[in-house]
Amino acid sequence: MLKTERRRVDTRTMKRMRLLCSLPTVLAALALLAGCGGSGESALTLEGIAQAATTSSGASTGRFTFTLDTTAPDGYETISFSGYGAFDTKARTSQLSLDMSSLASLLSALAPSTGAGPDLGNPELWKVEAVLDGLVMYMRFPLLSRLPDSPLEGKPWVKLDLRRAAHIGGFDLEELTQFTSNDPRESLRLLEAVGGTLEVLGQEEVHGVDTTHYRTSVDLRRYEQLVPASQRERFGSMLDQLVEQSGVRTIPVEVWVDGDSLVHRMTMTLSSTDPSTGQSTDASMRFELYDYGEPVSIALPPRAATFDATALVGR
């Protein structure tokens, strides 16, 4: 445990933190288990939008970028995550770079550094890289190497063999791979649960590709039915809690799809209200896919720079 002085945090600050954290939790949890213009002749139906999500997530190769922003009503705190990466379905590899440095200023205020542990206010400690090679995951999280008695000195990358880890720790391999998945394409699964009204907003170019811009919403109860039957009861319970805490039952979504039924951009926005204070928090996510079918190069970390943490799972 880090030996840092604890600053007394007032009730208002803690309530703001709950608001800031609630919406990313909703979006992240759902994603791992979110002008006018004439319509073209190839306008899709809701079923077509859902099929485009399936087609896109199964593409052979591609690249992606994403952002997730959460802002309190007074604009005092803003948490922004951003990242980019690439995937090669045939080679079963993917890569992700994630910037969480906006957490630095927030955590620095709550737990100021005293020199006894890592400086949580250092933005560089919150820039994460991950590579998935089949069932082997590599992660570089600078904060881990700064922890007291860290075994990572001189080896910034952590390796986890998911198959071996499941065997050693007695975990379900499917659940473990879902928990450690570093591929934001999982967000496309939300589009398989679209419902309600579908609007065609016009034709737009995204990353040099002509697309049709649609607006609709994701029905969270419909999404629940897409979860494997063996996990549906547990997921439904989690969803009930999320809906109760956030007041969110549908998520507004906009999606840009090309003539080959490939998704090139997806945005989601939603608001949550803290029942204890009446304060609301806004969140938005933007996810873009491009370079479908183009060659990508995903390099594995050098063995000399890698610490194999698989054996630690069962301890």
Residue type, 239: L
- Higher pLDDT: 25 or 44? It is 44
What is residue 60's predicted lDDT score, i.e. its pLDDT? 92
How distant, in Å, are the alpha carbons of 154, 212, 214, 215, 261 from that of 253? 44, 14, 8, 6, 17
With 70 as the cut, is the pLDDT of residue 254 above it? yes
Task: Give the whole-angstrom CA distance, residue 191 versus residue 54.
Answer: 9
With 70 as the cut, is the pLDDT of residue 99 above it? yes
- For the chain, give the mean pLDDT: 76
b/e sequence 173-194, b meaning 16+ C-beta within 10 Å: eeebbeebbbbbbbbbbbbbbb
Domain 21-312: CATH architecture, name and number where available? Clam (2.50)
Task: Give the whole-angstrom CA distance, residue 254 versus residue 11.
Answer: 36
User: Which 3 state secondary structure label does DSSP give 16?
Assistant: helix
pLDDT digits (tens, 9 = 90+) for 16-43: 444 444 444 444 444 433 333 333 445 7
Summarize the confidence of residues 256-269 as an average pLDDT. 94
With 70 as the cut, is the pLDDT of residue 90 above it? yes
> To which residue do tokens 């990358």 refer?
157
- Higher pLDDT: 4 or 249? It is 249
Q: H or E element: which one contains 244?
A: helix 229-246
Tokens, residue 275: 């029942």
Looking at residue 76, the DSSP 8-state letter turns out to be: S
According to DSSP, the β-strands at 157-161 and 306-308 are: parallel
Instruction: Name the residue ranges covered by the structural domains of the chain.
Output: 21-312
- What band does 8 get if pLDDT is binned at 50, 70 and 90? very low
Q: What is the dihedral of CA 33, 25, 94, 234, to 10 degrees?
A: -20
Residue type, 275: P
Summarize the confidence of residues 290-304 as an average pLDDT. 93
With 70 as the cut, is the pLDDT of residue 296 above it? yes
Task: Give the whole-angstrom CA distance, residue 79 versus residue 22.
Answer: 12
What is residue 238's predicted lDDT score, i.e. its pLDDT? 74
- What band does 164 get if pLDDT is binned at 50, 70 and 90? confident
> To which residue do tokens 């979006």 refer?
27
Q: Are 143 and 125 in contact (CB under 8 A)?
A: yes
Task: Give the whole-angstrom CA distance, residue 280 versus residue 275.
Answer: 9
With 70 as the cut, is the pLDDT of residue 151 above it? yes
| Contacts of range 40-47, beta carbons closer than 8 Å, 24 or more positions apart | 40/203, 40/212, 42/212, 42/259, 43/200, 43/212, 44/198, 44/212, 44/214, 44/257, 44/261, 45/198, 46/194, 46/195, 46/198, 46/216
Task: Give the whole-angstrom CA distance, residue 18 versus residue 20.
Answer: 5
Q: Of 45-49, 219-223, 237-241, which one has max mean pLDDT?
A: 45-49
Q: Which of 159, 152, 155, 158 is nearest to 134 (CA)?
A: 159
